Copies of this chain bind each other. A is one copy, B any other.
Amino acid sequence: MPPSRATKAPPRQVPAAGSARERLIAAAIATVRYKGFSATSVDEICQAAGVTKGAFFHHFASKEALAVEAAGAWTEIAEQRIFTQPDWTRIPDPLERLLGHIDFRLSMLDGPAEDFTCFVGTMVQESYNSSDPIRAACDASLHAYALRLAEDIQQAIDIYGIASGVSAVSLAFHIQAVLQGAFILAKANGNPVIARDSVMHLKRYVVMLFTQN
């Protein structure tokens, strides 16, 4: 169980480091990655955020509404942590950047699964039929990641060419699929080694596509 904030929130109306709303979103992301969306109660999210349900329902119309907002936040987190902050994002050569991206994802595959697996992948797995707003928000996040990645892939294709019949978007979604599937295997096995191995296959495949055309 993720450690929860047992102490009271800071005094009201004084903006804390991260407001209640932001802390609720962060708590939701952490708890859903740990145990899934349905098993995560509103009360539990509130405890982790250090507020009560009154605050929760002041900011969010429903548990579902929080989930949708959290999916949007997850897109922002990915944009910052994967596509902006790492040094490899500034490699000039797009193919090197793509391989750097995959190496980066590889290096993330360490420690407990809830620390490296995907919030929206986890949530849509169980909620896709129960809530169309949640499904659509997760899909939008996955799409945003893939389209962002496809930019680098297209640049690499423009310079190096790629195996016949492969598009940038197609390969970007395939990379997404491999990562999400690797996460499931790591969760089942309790060991990220199995996920790293699959991402090594992914890297090998990408290299093959760009060097044998």
Contacts and interface: CB of A to CB of B under 8 A. Distances in A.
Contacts of A122: 125-126
Contact of A205 (B126, B127, B180, B205): B205
A201 B163 contact: no
A5 to B, nearest CB: 19
A116 to B, nearest CB: 13
Interface in A154-177: 163, 166, 170-171, 173-174, 176-177
B125 A34 contact: no
Given A38-B36, A170-B197, A176 B187 contact: no
A177 B182 contact: yes
A129 B34 contact: yes
Interface residues of A, number: 50
A65 interface: no
A184 interface: yes
How many copies of this protein are present in the complex? 2
Nearest to A189: B139
Given A171-B201, A198-B174, A36 B125 contact: yes
Nearest to A130: B35
A197 B174 contact: yes
Contact of A176 (B34, B39, B181): B181
A179 B177 CA distance: 8
A59 interface: no
Given A39-B38, A197-B170, A205-B208, A125 B187 contact: yes
A126 B201 contact: no
